[in-house]
Structure 1
């Protein structure tokens, strides 16, 4: 039962990945056939640049009413990019079209980084642009996107002969009287519509992987468009399912996990193709075994050069002082590394140093790491800093859950208040499951709260939890 309850919250990410698989494999076959592999990456980056530019003008994609404006900015930028790519195709190319596409991608990436460099949350925005957050996609968003993708799909089905003719042999298509520029523009514009929406939920890397990797694998093994479509769909759907499973049970980000699963499918396909089409298959298999052995030895050898944490600095400075000093730097990676070590140490200065960083950091990874460190330290002096963090910013339900759990471990009443707020949040998803489990564990009783029900249906259970909380923590009221 718990398994089914947990997986209920993975339904939306699964549906999102499956829809992306179905639509993007088809487009990927066109992309691979046209030999413009980076067009999807470039258009995805242009769409992300449009959304980034919208933030400069004061729009926020997470704010109700602004999300449509941000989407329109992305779409406008994408249409401009589609026009550039359509015009850039030359009948007798002196410069490959792929070169223009790569230049546009590099320029769009650089522009987005420059814009985000002036944003206080630029690092998080850049990360979201690259890897997205498919885990937090909602069912209404998926339904809306599915309708949009279906409309684009119908358009491509109706005019599939022209699109396929241009993708497979553009010169023959032009000789047959097809206006290449017009149909190229229509292809890239519809392509851009899908990419704009896909990047918003899945990020640039996952969109690129869905478009290219299944299509490349399919082209290895199949000669017909139908065969490539079917094999590409099988690969994309299988990699999506396995990637989500891996992400769920190993606590990795979903998007990168699916990308790595797609990449592993590509490696397995490449090895199989090499062996199957080799004149001497045994020798080919031995070559593959030798490469695998070399890889194991290579990484095994490098692992012996792992840098060990110094027990004492060369100048006699204690390790705790060095790590606390790292918290004052602006480098997030150094801060996260220092926090992970400080949480396992015993020094009265650690809590105040972490509290200071928590008060000035807007990086959600840093905030989460500090909350987890406070849970390990079990020092009540951390309570004011955690409470201040909860009030300062409206974090997503999972980060709010981590802060609440830290407060509960420190036996502070506000931790239960935060958990109850999560139970009342209809959009909290799987965080509601985890919040009620914490409360049940601490209370030693079942209040009848069912995360599968709506918030109004759980009103009685929430009321019982609040009455229990008042009895256990009367000072809160």
Structure 2
């Protein structure tokens, strides 16, 4: 069992570990630059590149798909580096959001012409982290290490632009050039990440650890330590949970990231509050309000679901009146298409013709022997017509022979 578990989850775990390493660091830059959607937008550009390649028959995971993805991601990096202005009237985040929307729209238009397009979009969103190969992990580790060295050597420039762009402009730095180098290295990382982890998981790996660590401390090395620790913990729990409950690994890890981030935020709210009892009360009240809203949606869903079911049942009542105009073969064919016991029961009780009721009861017996046999026995016992009682008996015998 342990060996099988390792063979299934081992590669995915190591892939998540190297994703945590580089993405937690880049995420801190993203938060400081206040360009939250740049990672999502670059990921979408990379996904668009893969999609365009797919249209030409280039399968995801192949060298051709990689170069298409990288090329489009670098194109996105160039766009974002040109979208920053010293005295900007329009926030850079607005430009990034717009380009993300455009890239998404173009991807949908392109994939609409490709075979199995829906499956491809789902794979791009959720990834296939469980199927990652050790060779892919090795390549990703090498690429991420090179990007990490690149950022370490140029850390002063990148950190200055991320933390204090006004000072960078004042010192005469070519901010657009350094932005392009930053986003280009970012694009290289994203290109590798999207192929295995998917757009959703990449976005969360970049943002969630960075947000959590920045909420706790302002010191960079502590932020990195917190982000990496959180990533390791959530990855282990998410993978294990997805294995136990047979859930998609990527979305499960994303959900746990959200849960841990919320838990940390609420804990910090209480610990840093001058009136801790009041803060605890706010957390409890918020939890209760959220629970009540959830229960409200649950009740609303059941109410509208029942209304829809009743309307559907009412339409079957109309059908019950039409059965009398069908021959036996048509009735059997019609009933064979109904798997809802409640709807069949409605048809049975609204039907006046005992012969048709026998056919309905027979169909019920095929789905639930107890209900169907009980109705056939009732017809055989209560019908005033001998030939109907005989027909019901024959139906019972036939069901016992061919249950």
TM-score interval, normalised by the smaller of the two chains: 0.7 to 0.9
Q: TM-score, normalised by structure 2?
A: 0.77
CA contact (8 A) 2:86 2:169 kept: no
Trace 1:184-199 onto structure 2 (pairs within 5 A): 184-199=179-194
Counterpart CA distance in 2 for 1:48 and 1:277 is 41
The alpha-carbon distance between structure 1 residues 120 and 286, as it changes in their structure 2 partners (threshold 3 A), is same
**Displacement of 1:315:** 2.8
Aligned to 2:4: 5
The equivalent position to 1:321 in structure 2, one of 337, 343, 361, is: 337
2:106 equivalent to 1:107: no
CA contact (8 A) 1:51 1:70 kept: yes
Misfit runs of 4+, over 6 Å: none
Trace 1:48-67 onto structure 2 (pairs within 5 A): 48-61=47-60, 67=62
Aligned to 1:91: 86
How far does the alpha carbon of each residue in 1:21-78 deviate from its partner, in whole angstroms, 9 at most, with x for none? 011000000000100000000000000001101111221225xxxx111110111111
How far does the alpha carbon of each residue in 1:354-399 deviate from its partner, in whole angstroms, 9 at most, with x for none? xxxxxxxxxxxxxxxxxxxxxxxxxxxxxxxxxxxxxxxxxxxxxx
**Displacement of 1:320:** 5.8
How far does the alpha carbon of each residue in 1:128-159 deviate from its partner, in whole angstroms, 9 at most, with x for none? 11111101111111011111111111111111
Trace 1:102-251 onto structure 2 (pairs within 5 A): 102-251=97-246
Q: Which structure has more helix as a fraction of its residues?
A: 2
Counterpart CA distance in 1 for 2:24 and 2:335 is 52
Aligned to 2:256: 261
Aligned to 1:35: 34
Q: Highest Rg: 1 or 2?
A: 2
**Displacement of 1:10:** 0.7
CA contact (8 A) 2:55 2:113 kept: no
Aligned residue for 1:314, secondary structure, equals helix
CA contact (8 A) 2:11 2:132 kept: yes
Q: Which moved more, 1:314-323 or 1:224-233?
A: 314-323
Structure 1, unmatched stretches of 5+, are 325-343, 348-477
Aligned to 2:20: 21
Q: TM-score, normalised by structure 1?
A: 0.65
How far does the alpha carbon of each residue in 1:194-244 deviate from its partner, in whole angstroms, 9 at most, with x for none? 001100000101000000011001110111111111111111111111111
**Displacement of 1:250:** 0.9
**Displacement of 1:300:** 2.0
CA contact (8 A) 1:313 1:319 kept: no
The alpha-carbon distance between structure 1 residues 137 and 100, as it changes in their structure 2 partners (threshold 3 A), is same
**Displacement of 1:126:** 0.8
Counterpart CA distance in 2 for 1:129 and 1:319 is 41
CA contact (8 A) 1:310 1:319 kept: no
The alpha-carbon distance between structure 1 residues 92 and 346, as it changes in their structure 2 partners (threshold 3 A), is farther
Aligned to 2:64: 69
**Displacement of 1:115:** 1.3
CA contact (8 A) 1:78 1:193 kept: yes
Greater relative contact order (CA < 8 Å, ≥ 6 in sequence): 2
Q: Which moved more, 1:95-104 or 1:157-166?
A: 157-166
**Displacement of 1:276:** 1.7
**Displacement of 1:177:** 3.2
Counterpart CA distance in 1 for 2:315 and 2:165 is 69
CA contact (8 A) 2:43 2:191 kept: yes
CA contact (8 A) 2:27 2:206 kept: yes
RMSD of aligned Cα (Å): 2.0
**Displacement of 1:301:** 3.1
The alpha-carbon distance between structure 1 residues 313 and 27, as it changes in their structure 2 partners (threshold 3 A), is same
Counterpart CA distance in 2 for 1:58 and 1:94 is 43
The equivalent position to 1:293 in structure 2, one of 263, 284, 288, is: 288
Counterpart CA distance in 1 for 2:271 and 2:5 is 41
Counterpart CA distance in 1 for 2:56 and 2:185 is 26
The equivalent position to 1:277 in structure 2, one of 266, 272, 277, is: 272
Counterpart CA distance in 1 for 2:5 and 2:268 is 38
Q: Which moved more, 1:274-283 or 1:197-206?
A: 274-283
Number of residues paired by the alignment?
323
The alpha-carbon distance between structure 1 residues 151 and 320, as it changes in their structure 2 partners (threshold 3 A), is farther
Counterpart CA distance in 1 for 2:19 and 2:272 is 31
Counterpart CA distance in 1 for 2:336 and 2:150 is 63
